Structure 1
Amino acid sequence: MDTLTVPQGNFQLARFPVRNKETLRAWDASDEYLLHQLSEEGYPSHDSRVLICNDSFGAISIALADNLPTMQTDSFISQQATLNNLRINDLPESSVAHINSLTSLSSVLPKDAKFDLLIIKITKSLAQLEDQLQRLRPYLTAETKIIAAGMVKGIHTSTLQLFEKIIGPTHTSLARKKARLIFCQYDATLIPPENNYPKHYLLENTQYQITNHANVFSREKLDIGTRFFIQNMPANSHYRNIIDLGCGNGIVGLIAGEKNPAAKVHFIDESYMAVASAKENFGRAFPERSAEFIVTDCLKGVSDNSCDLILNNPPFHQQNTVGDFIAQQMFKESYKVLNKGGELWVIGNRHLGYHVILKRLFNNCETVASNKKFVILKAVK
């Protein structure tokens, strides 16, 4: 755990999930830059309505907790990180109001009220930013202070163009410690284009209409990894409960449900937009069929020894941090959740070496299928 020292105070902050011997901080240079800038300009005042978007581990929200901000994120993990960091700093959990990326902003504002201060951390997904700005615009005025922050490598001309196109005139700060700020002024006369999200397409070789919210991987078409996975989808009458872990738009679980009509499918992801997409897609495909949709961190809250088959395409990054730590967490928790004889099926790029981790955890691992890019592995409890 490290200490963030900014004009607003000194704060002990941890990443989430909390890991032993963590080497990465829970904030970056753009968080520090933004908090210093706000202090220099005297923002926010004590009665300001503050909205903070995409605060990865809650650094900004914790620093501004005295102002009772609202934090909007698509990430369950970001919410849990913020709650954990509030506890670490002996701040009431009620100091920060939490809403997800699909929650109507009118639910956190008095009638006809607008935000006085809007803070946005720039994410990797340009689509997510575009959708976000479209949803935010109705709750801004010319008096709203709008400031975004990110690392220089993540701010592009296309990023600034979105602010210009949807909100109004935009300029950037000088770079500091490889971080940059974006300043935007709301233009009431601007007529922004219609929101392009969610996206829709027909799943190839099926009649399934697929809906994808903005922060869902492979929004425009079926990606090659998922195509390979569903081409090798297992079917067995012994599967009664199937989990699509890290479900994204739910295509893997949807096809698993098609191949295993007697099974109940559980869709799990830490992204609210992903689970919402999966729910819409499965519900449209099988309107009379029961399924479960859960937003959580990996398999937290899922009962041990409760599942026969887990299907998993693990992410290999958290925000901008690349590694296999999420995959390892998914595999360990899958072992607990599976019944004896239950199966974990994993797809990944051939070079990632997931077979080594699976053999260590399950004492077995076999290759189900492979091609030049991907491998599908099966481990049995």
Structure 2
Amino acid sequence: MSDFSFDRLRRYPDVEADNLFAADASDRLILDEAADLLADAGVGEVVVLEDHYGALTLGAAALGGARGIRVHQDVLSGELALALNAADVGLTHTYRSLGLGNELLANARVVLLQLPRSLAALDEVAEAIRRFAAPDVVVIAGGRIKHMTPAMNEVLGRHFGLLRVSPARQKSRVLRAAAPIPSPTQSVVSAWPKSVDHADLGLTVSAHGAVFAGAGIDIGTRFLLEFLDRMKPDAGSAIDLGCGTGVLAVALARRRPELSVTASDQSAAAVASARATMAANSLVNRVTVVRDDALQSQPDASAELIMLNPPFHIGSSVHAGIALKLFEDAGRVLQRGGELWTVWNTHLGYRPALTRLVGPTHQVGRNAKFTVTVSTGR
């Protein structure tokens, strides 16, 4: 498709702003480095991992001629953006989205990867490629230099016998990995998720590589846990929005067995982690875990209680947009008189936004770093 243009791609339904883009120089560099590999690949032999909004997938199809592309994106907003961009440029038929595992990677010979932010996420992805892809697979992994570290080379070196680092171009760089290292044990059992027992809270947390805070419990969540007994005592149902590993959902379900609890996150790794956490704490039948873009699958005015520890970044960019999106959707879903309990870094000053998007908001707790507020639906 000679008229394909990266400039045509959009981030929607993710947050859009003048300083946020659907494609960058690392997408172009990955595709350029992979051009010969894409030209030689057969149908179904190309896999794309962590494509932000479709630039790699659609570029591989339009510029590289790849067909039968298999794609995995951790965040649902990226997956939805890819679908919308593919429809816009007439390439919907060129790919399919799958979970991280054998169906995604079996017999793959070319893997294009936008390097994830965390080393744990990279380790889990590299392990999966090593376990399931073809022995002659080549991985072209790229990113912006400011977000890359030498430790990424070490992680890939644990899984691949050959690693080459490309020269920099437009502040981007590519790592080319090949010769996956055989491991009979890992061909049967994955090292993920990892679990940690938190004796002080009486619960076990399980985590896949890409989930925030891993199997630990971040200090904002710990602070919000102190307020569980004050959260809308007459509520019959509750939502842990942006649940991560599901710590808040577990703690609330245990504390209040009469509640129907839903844990929701747009991250596939978070959803898998939360489900593993529920299993580890014998709560599979008490807590429903769903993958959702904010609360898009929830009806208006349907929630009595929502808990939220919002992220303050979008990918590698510090940006308030994702928190505002979650506040707005929480305000839509919250019943009149329902409660949204939010913990946030005090310097972010979210109270006016919560009042505007959800309802009357007051502070119920504050420590050296965090503020906890409760907003009442209107």
TM exceeds 0.5? yes
Q: Which residue of 2 aligns with 1:252?
A: 248
- Give the Cα–Cα distance (whole angstroms) in 1 for the partners of residues 37 and 283 of structure 2: 53
Cα 1:225–1:84 change in 2 (3 A) is: same
Where does residue 331 of structure 2 map in the other structure?
A: 335
Tell me what 2:193 maps to.
Answer: 198
Of 323, 341, 344, the residue aligned with 1:345 is 341
SS at 1:206 equivalent: coil
Flag the 1:205–1:27 CA change in 2: closer, same or farther, 3 A. same
What is the Cα-based RMSD across aligned positions, in Å?
A: 2.4
Change (3 A) 1:226 1:19: closer
Could you tell me which amino acid in structure 2 is paired with residue 97 of structure 1? R
Rounded to whole Å, the distance in 1 between the matches of 2:137 and 2:311 is: 36
Q: Aligned letter for 1:209?
A: T
**Could you tell me which residue of structure 1 aligns to residue 125 of structure 2?**
132
2:90 alignment partner AA: D
With normalisation by structure 1, the TM-score equals 0.89
Normalization by structure 2: what TM-score? 0.90
Match of 1:229 among 224, 229, 236: 224
| 2:70 aligned partner | 70
Aligned to 1:3: none
CA apart distance, 1:289: 4.0
Determine the C-alpha separation between the residues in 2 that align with 1:86 and 1:77: 14
Q: Percent identity?
A: 27
Query: C-alpha distance in 2, partners of 1:21/1:209?
Result: 39
Query: Does structure 1 retain, via aligned residues, the 8 Å contact 2:294–2:325?
Result: yes
**How far off its partner does 1:118 sit?**
1.2
What residue identity is the alignment partner of 1:90?
G
Q: Aligned to 1:315, which of 302, 311, 314?
A: 311
Q: Are 2:220 and 2:370, in contact at CA under 8 Å, matched by a contact in 1?
A: yes
**Counterpart residue identity of residue 134, structure 1:** E
CA contact (8 A) 2:10 2:22 kept: yes
Alignment deviations for residues 116-135 of structure 1 (CA, whole Å, 9 cap, x no partner): 21111101111001011111
Deviations 1:300-354 (A, max 9, x none): 1111111111000111111112111111111111111111100111101000111
Alpha-carbon offset, residue 73 of structure 1: 2.1
Instruction: Tell me the distance in 1 between the aligned counterparts of 2:177 and 2:36.
Output: 17
For 1:202-261, what per-residue CA distance to the aligned partner results, in whole angstroms no more than 9, with x for missing partners? 124233222111111222422211111101223444111100000001111111222322
> C-alpha distance in 1, partners of 2:160/2:253?
42
2:170 maps to which residue? 177
Q: Are 1:296 and 2:292 matched, yes or no? A: yes
The number of residues matched between the two structures is: 369
Deviation of the 1:46 alpha carbon: 4.9
- Mapped to 2, the partners of 1:303 and 1:189 lie a distance apart of 49
Q: Does the 8 A contact of 2:77 with 2:266 survive in 1?
A: yes
How big is the shift at 1:280? 2.5
Please give the secondary structure, in 2, of the residue aligned with 1:334. helix
- CA gap of 1:306–1:145, structure 2 versus 1, over 3 A, is same
In the alignment, is the contact (CA less than 8 A) between 1:241 and 1:265 conserved in 2?
yes
Q: Does residue 114 of the first structure (1) align with residue 104 of the second (2)?
A: no
Between the aligned partners of 1:288 and 1:118, the Cα distance in structure 2 is 35
Aligned to 1:123: 116
Deviation at 1:189, TM superposition (A): 5.9
User: 162-171 or 333-342, which moves further after superposition?
Assistant: 162-171
Say if 2:210 and 2:270, in contact at 8 Å, map to a contact too: yes
Structure 1 range deviating more: 58-67 or 171-180: 58-67
Residues 261 and 288 of structure 2 are in contact (CA less than 8 Å); yes or no, is this contact kept in structure 1?
yes
Counterpart of 2:5 in structure 1 is 10
Q: 2:178 is matched by which residue type in structure 1?
A: Q
The letter for the 2-side match of 1:198 is P
Q: Cα distance 1:30–1:287, how it changes in 2: closer, same or farther (>3 A)?
A: closer
Cα separation, 2, equivalents of 1:192 and 1:27: 38
CA deviation string 1:90-119 (max 9, x = no partner): 222x32110123xx32x257xxx6112111
Partner of 1:375: 371
Q: Secondary structure at the match of 2:352?
A: helix
Pick closer, same or farther for the CA change 1:319–1:218 going to 2, 3 Å: same
CA drift of 1:195 comes to 5.4
Aligned 8 A contact 1:148 1:182 in 2? yes
Written as runs of structure 1 = structure 2, the 5 A alignment for 1:5-154 is: 9-11=4-6, 12-17=8-13, 22-39=18-35, 43-47=39-43, 49-65=45-61, 66-92=66-92, 94-101=93-100, 104-105=101-102, 107-108=103-104, 114-154=107-147
1-structure distance, mates of 2:179, 2:238: 47
CA distance in 2, matches of 1:191, 1:284: 27
Equivalent pair of 1:174/1:180 in contact (CA under 8 Å): yes
Alpha-carbon contact 1:8-1:35 (below 8 Å) kept: no
How far the C-alpha of 1:18 sits from its partner, in A, is 5.3
2:358 paired with 1:365: no
In structure 1, the gaps of 5 or more residues are 1-5
- Supply the AA of the counterpart residue of 2:198: L
Matched residue, 1:186: 179
Distance 1:20 1:196, change over 3 A: closer
